Structure 1
Amino acid sequence: MTNLMETLVENREMVQPNHANMLDTAHGGNVMKWMDEVGAMSAMLFSGETCVTARVNQMNFERPIRVGDTAYITAYVYDSGTSSVKVRLITEREDLRTREREKTTESYFVYVAIDEHKEPTTVPDLTVSSEEADRLRREALEGENGNC
């Protein structure tokens, strides 16, 4: 069994001009790619297996991330099936000078654990052993059911 808090991954990507659209903000495709990579890391920490993306929930880009800011991405596993792993992902725009953050994007990804033959393989049960983990799991389940 793997504890939810062991799956928590936080990562930053500095938004550079080559990541931007014509409005000098992060291109949505780059944000989605960064979220997918961080989500896969979380799923692999949970399962101990290689994980591939199976599904992406609705993704709304609520506000832009400007060139020079960072995309601060948080991911954690909140549920699992036989071979599937559900990961909540939140992206925030962060100004490193002021440390100010505001949510820009949220989504729920499903990954599938695969073995060395690239076939689905079983994953462990998720455990929730702290108040913080319980809060994160409840927020994810509520958000998933509310489609972000």
Structure 2
Amino acid sequence: MSKEFKHVSESEVTISELMLPSHSNFNGKIHGGYILSLLDQIAFACASKHSGQYCVTASVDTVDFLRPIEIGELVTMKASVNYVGTSSMVIGIRVEAENIQTGESKHCNSSYITMVAKDKNGKGTKVPGLILSRRKSVLRFLKSMKRTQLKRKRDEEFHHIDFDSAEFQKELEKYRVQVELND
């Protein structure tokens, strides 16, 4: 039986993985796609732990790659539920890489992924609310709330804009683009 509210700490998940040569790109750094896969896995685990349900990725809201990750570094990802809606949750993830020989650690990535809890029939299902007992959790909730509002506003605005208008045609002149329409 699921609780009506849960402390943020009840759903936090931390994973660590040693970065291997098989995870690297052609430049010898850890491939961003591999990190994205790990981000999705930890977001799933955190959201499922909070909701007690199967969860799906609704959107990858932000992925900021700040520093490259090297082969041989120990990557640690820390995930927490930053925001809840009715069936959705925004999972915040911090990625750090540690040089295991020197102990030096660096912040490499911050990500926000929206997950949705599903019932046995694949319908969105209600998730527990959050108990915010630390100032950092309140700040994270408020920032996620604001990001969600801005995303809705942006989606609404884009839905109603006429990109064929003369105003937008003129706007293109400011950019390194050449328009050659064939239709």
**Structure 1 residues 88, 100: CA separation in 2 closer, same or farther (over 3 Å shift)?**
same
State the identity as a percent: 31
In structure 2, what is the equivalent of residue 117 of structure 1? 121
Q: Deviations over 1:108-148 (max 9, x none)?
A: 1100001112221111111123x3xx31341464377579x
Query: Quick check: 2:18–2:72 contact (8 Å CA) kept in 1?
Result: yes
Residues 1:47 and 2:48 are matched in the alignment: no
Greater Rg over alpha carbons, structure: 2
2: CA distance, partners of 1:24 / 1:63: 14
Instruction: Name the CA shift for 1:100/1:145 in 2 (closer, same or farther; >3 Å).
Output: farther
SS in structure 1 at match of 2:62: coil
Q: Determine whether 1:37 maps to 2:13.
A: no
Supply the distance in 1 between the matched residues of 2:57 and 2:109 (Cα, whole angstroms).
18
Name the Cα RMSD after superposition: 1.9
CA contact (8 A) 2:19 2:30 kept: yes
- Residue type at the aligned position of 1:38: I
Mean CA deviation greater in 79-88 or 120-129: 120-129
Q: CA deviation at 1:8?
A: 1.2
Q: Flag as ranges the 4+ runs of structure 1 deviating above 4 A.
A: 143-147
- Give the 3 Å change call, closer, same or farther, for CA 7–27 of structure 1 in structure 2: same
Considering fraction of residues, name the structure with more strand: 1
Contact 2:23–2:34 (8 Å) recurs in 1:
yes
Residues 143 and 77 of structure 1, relative CA distance in 2, 3 Å threshold? closer
Q: Distance in 2 between matches of 1:60 and 1:88?
A: 12
Partner Cα separation in structure 2 for residue 143 and residue 6 of structure 1: 19
| C-alpha distance after superposition, 1:14-68 (max 9, x if no partner) | 1111110012211000001101111111111111111110011132211111010
Match of 1:63 in 2: 67
What per-residue deviation string (whole Å, max 9, x for no partner) do you get for residues 48-107 of structure 1?
111110011132211111010022111000110110011101111112233321111111
Q: TM-score, normalised by structure 1?
A: 0.88
Residue 142 (structure 1) aligns with: 143
Q: How many pairs were matched up?
A: 144
After superposition, the Cα gap between the structure-2 partners of 1:71 and 1:145, relative to the gap in structure 1 and judged at 3 Å, is farther
| Uncovered stretches (5+) of structure 2, i.e. residues with no partner | 151-183
Give the number of the structure whose residues are more often helix, by fraction: 2
**Aligned equivalents of 2:132 and 2:120: distance in 1?**
29
Residue 110 of structure 2 corresponds to 106
Distance 1:90 1:140, change over 3 A: farther
Tell me: higher relative CO, structure 1 or 2? Use CA pairs within 8 A at least 6 residues apart: 1
